[in-house]
Structure 1
C-alpha cells in the first residue's frame, strides 16, 4: 500500500520545478543567440503595438463621433475594440514577423515569436468571447480561467498543473472536492449559464411578440423559462464536472431549513407574485390605487411590482401587499371609470336649469364618454346652497383623474358664468350690541 501524497510537498516540488525552468530560460535569454533575439523582437513589437494603440484609439474615437444614429450594441462593440487595439496590433505585427522569419531563416529561430503570436490570438479571442457573460464577477472569473488555461496549454504545462490541482483536495467521507474540480465547475457553469441566458432571451422575445398570450401570462411564461433554463444549466454544469450531489443532501437540507425561517417574506412575495400572474388580477398596464399611491403597473417582478405615478415616481410594492391589501384596479375587467364631482348653486337659481347646464358642460369635455351620458342629481339643501352631484364616465384612467376633474370644473365655471348661475359661499354678518 502506497503512502498518500502530501499536497503541500507536491506544491513545493512543482514550484521548484517551475522556478528551475524559468531560471534556465532566463539564463538562455541573457546569453547571445537567437533565443535572446526573439525576446528582443517580441518586446519591440509590444512597444510598437502600445504606441499604435494610443494613436489608432484616438482616430477610431473621432471617426465614431462623426457617425450618427448608431445603435447601442454597435457602440458597445466599438468600445470593446478600442480597449483591445493594442493586443490586436500585437497579434497582427508579431504574426507578420513570424511568417517573414519562417520564410527567410530556419524555423527554429522563430519558435518563441510564433508562440507569442498564438498566445496573443488566444487571449484576444477569449477577451471577446467572454463578453457574452453579462455578470461582471463571473465574466472576470471565466476570462482569467480561460487565459490561464490557454497559456498553460500552449506552454505544454496543462497536464502537470491539472494533476497538481487535482491532488489538492478536500475530502469528507466519500465526498471529495479538488481545486481542479472547483475551477472546472466555475468555468463550465459560467459557460452553460451564458448559453441559458441567450436561449432564454430569445425565447422571451418570441413570447412577448405573441399577441394571443395575455400580458400576465407572458410574464409568467418568461419567468418560468428563465428559471428552467438556469436550473438546467446549473445542474448540467455540476454533473459535467463529476460532483456528486447526494453527498451534500444532508448539508443542503439543514441550510434549506435555516433559509426557510430567514426568508419567509421573500418566499411569501415569490408565491404572491405567482398567484397574481395566474389569477390575472393585476397585469402590466393596469391602473391601480393602493393607499396613497395611484399609478399604473409598469413591470411585475418575482418579488415586487413596479408602479409609476403621474409625477414620475416609481414605487416598488411587494407582491404580498397586493395580495393581502385592498387594491383598487381601475382597469381590471374593463377600462370604464365613473367619476363624481360635487358643487352647489344659489337658492335663487332654477334646479332644473342647473342640472341641464351641468350635464351639457360635462358632455362638452373631450374625454367624457357620450354613450354613457353624464347625470346630475340634487343631494341636499345646504346652509348657503343647493348641493348637487355630477357623475360622468371616462375610458382612459391612464390619462389621469385629477386633470379630467379639473377640466369638468372649468366647463361648469364657464357655463354657469355665461348663464348667470351663481356659486354661493358662506357669509357671516357680525352685529355689535350697544350694551357690549
Structure 2
C-alpha cells in the first residue's frame, strides 16, 4: 500500500505528464494534427447528415428480416458518426505515414486508437439491457482503455490503490472496488447470455411441463448469477469471510422486514413443484377470472378477457381458494337454468333444449348435453341444461350467451313459451270496500 508521500508523488507525476501533453499540443505539427482531427470530426458529422436518413429509409424497406439483424442495424445507425470518423482518421493516418515522417502522425494515431476503442466499447455494451449496468461498464471501459492507450495505467492504478479504508483484517481500496465492479459486471453479462440460451433450450423441450420449465429456468438463473457474483468478488481478491458477521446481522434485519417477500418466493417454488398452477391455466380467484400469463418469483400474472392484467401474489394462490378450470384436463361443464310454461310437454322441452345446445359451436358432442327438470315453480316448470366445453380460455360468458340464444330460437320455432310471473288485481266497489273495512 503506497504511503501519503508516494501518493503525493504519483499525483504530481500525473499532473506533470498532463502539463507536458498540453505543451506538446502547441508545437506546430501537433497543432496541425489536432486541426486535422477536428476537420475529420466535422467531415464525419457531414457524412452522418447526408447518409443517415438514406440508411434509415433503407432499413424501413427490410421487411421480413430477423429481429436481431434489425437491432444490429439500429445500433450501427446510432453510431454512424463514430464509424465514419474512425474510417476517416485511420485513412488519414495511413496516408500521412506514407508521405511524411511517422512522428508527424503520432497524435493522429493516438486519436485513432482512442476513437476505435471508444466505438468498440459503445457497440459491445449495447448487449447489456440494464441501463445502469450498461452505463457503469461503458464508462469504466472507456476510462480503462484511455489510460492504457495514454500509457498512464500503472500510475493511475497505484493512485487508486492508495485510496481506501480498512476494517477488520480486510482493506478495501478504490482500485479494488473498480476492479470488482468491472469483473462482476462482465461475469453477470456472461451469466445473462448463458441463462437466456439455456432458457431457450429448456422452453423448446416439449417433454418438460410448463411449470417445470419455469422452475428450471429460475433455478438456473439464480445459480448462474450467484456464481458470477461470487467468482467475480473472489477473483478481485475480496475476502468474503470478513463480511460474514456483517452479512449475518443484515440478514436478520432483512428477515423481519421481508417476511412477505420471502413467503411469496417460497410459495412460488411450491407452486412450480406441485404443478397446481402453470402458465396457460384458466383460474378463478375471487372476482378475478382469467388465464395465467406468467409465473414470477413473487407474483403470478393473470390476464382477464377484457385485457386487464392482475399481479396476484404467490402467497394468495397457496392460502386462498383457487378454481383451476384446466388443472387436470381442459373439460369444463357449464349449467344453464330456464323455465317453460306448464302447458308445454316437458319431454319435448328437454329434447328441443338438448338439440339446440348441440348446434352451438364449442359445445362438445362426445360429452352430449343433458337437460333435467329441477322443480315446479309458481309460474313455470324449471329446468337445468348442462353441457361441456374444452376451451375455457375462449371465454365462458360468450358460450353461455350463445346457448341461451339457441334456446330462444328453438323455443320460438316450436311454440315453447317462456312464462313470466302474472298477478290478478281485483277492484272492489264501495259496498264491498265497506264490508271489508267492517
TM-score, normalized by length of structure 2?
A: 0.95
Kindly report the root-mean-square deviation, in angstroms, between the aligned alpha carbons of the 2 structures: 1.6
Give me the whole-angstrom Cα distance separating, in 2, the residues matched to 1:181 and 1:411: 76
**Residue 403 of structure 1: how far off its partner (Å):** 1.2
2:290 equivalent to 1:286: no
Alpha-carbon contact 1:133-1:190 (below 8 Å) kept: no
Alpha-carbon contact 2:289-2:304 (below 8 Å) kept: yes
Partner in structure 2 of residue 241 of structure 1: 236
Give me the whole-angstrom Cα distance separating, in 2, the residues matched to 1:369 and 1:65: 47
Alpha-carbon contact 2:2-2:162 (below 8 Å) kept: no
Q: 1:29 aligns with which of 25, 29, 33?
A: 25
Partner in structure 1 of residue 409 of structure 2: 414
Partner in structure 2 of residue 5 of structure 1: 3
Partner secondary structure for residue 177 of structure 1: strand
Q: 1:43 aligns with which of 38, 51, 62?
A: 38
Partner secondary structure for residue 30 of structure 1: coil
Unaligned runs of 5+ residues in structure 1 are: none
**Residue 289 of structure 1: how far off its partner (Å):** 0.6
Partner in structure 2 of residue 424 of structure 1: 419
Q: 1:262 aligns with which of 257, 273, 285?
A: 257
Instruction: Encode CA deviations 1:85-132: one digit per residue, 9 max, x unaligned.
Output: 111111111111111111121111111111111111111111111122
Partner in structure 2 of residue 115 of structure 1: 110
Give me the whole-angstrom Cα distance separating, in 1, the residues matched to 2:11 and 2:333: 81
Partner in structure 1 of residue 294 of structure 2: 299
Alpha-carbon contact 1:127-1:143 (below 8 Å) kept: yes
2:322 equivalent to 1:327: yes
Partner secondary structure for residue 303 of structure 2: strand
Alpha-carbon contact 2:2-2:158 (below 8 Å) kept: no
Partner in structure 2 of residue 343 of structure 1: 338
Give me the whole-angstrom Cα distance separating, in 2, the residues matched to 1:109 and 1:309: 71
Instruction: Encode CA deviations 1:174-221: one digit per residue, 9 max, x unaligned.
Output: 111110110111111111011111111111111111111111101111
Which aligned pairs between 1:10-89 and structure 2 lie closer than 5 A?
Answer: 13-31=9-27, 33-89=28-84
Partner secondary structure for residue 349 of structure 1: coil
Give me the whole-angstrom Cα distance separating, in 1, the residues matched to 2:61 and 2:385: 60
Give me the whole-angstrom Cα distance separating, in 1, the residues matched to 2:393 and 2:429: 62
Partner in structure 1 of residue 387 of structure 2: 392
Unaligned runs of 5+ residues in structure 2 are: 434-438
Partner in structure 1 of residue 86 of structure 2: 91
**Structure 2 CA distance for partners of 1:410 and 1:4, relative to 1, 3 Å:** closer
Partner in structure 1 of residue 221 of structure 2: 226
Give me the whole-angstrom Cα distance separating, in 2, the residues matched to 1:175 and 1:245: 9
**Structure 2 CA distance for partners of 1:397 and 1:245, relative to 1, 3 Å:** same
Partner in structure 2 of residue 175 of structure 1: 170
Which aligned pairs between 1:123-272 and structure 2 lie closer than 5 A?
Answer: 123-272=118-267
Give me the whole-angstrom Cα distance separating, in 1, the residues matched to 2:368 and 2:83: 72
**Residue 58 of structure 1: how far off its partner (Å):** 2.1
**Residue 10 of structure 1: how far off its partner (Å):** 5.7
**Residue 350 of structure 1: how far off its partner (Å):** 1.2
Partner in structure 1 of residue 436 of structure 2: none
**Residue 56 of structure 1: how far off its partner (Å):** 2.2
Give me the whole-angstrom Cα distance separating, in 2, the residues matched to 1:384 and 1:110: 104
Give me the whole-angstrom Cα distance separating, in 1, the residues matched to 2:21 and 2:176: 31
**Residue 286 of structure 1: how far off its partner (Å):** 0.8
Give me the whole-angstrom Cα distance separating, in 2, the residues matched to 1:123 and 1:150: 8
**Residue 418 of structure 1: how far off its partner (Å):** 1.2
Give me the whole-angstrom Cα distance separating, in 1, the residues matched to 2:294 and 2:127: 25
Give me the whole-angstrom Cα distance separating, in 2, the residues matched to 1:12 and 1:426: 101
Give me the whole-angstrom Cα distance separating, in 1, the residues matched to 2:341 and 2:233: 81
Alpha-carbon contact 1:193-1:234 (below 8 Å) kept: yes
**Structure 2 CA distance for partners of 1:183 and 1:62, relative to 1, 3 Å:** same
**Residue 28 of structure 1: how far off its partner (Å):** 3.1
Alpha-carbon contact 2:11-2:159 (below 8 Å) kept: no
**Residue 75 of structure 1: how far off its partner (Å):** 2.7
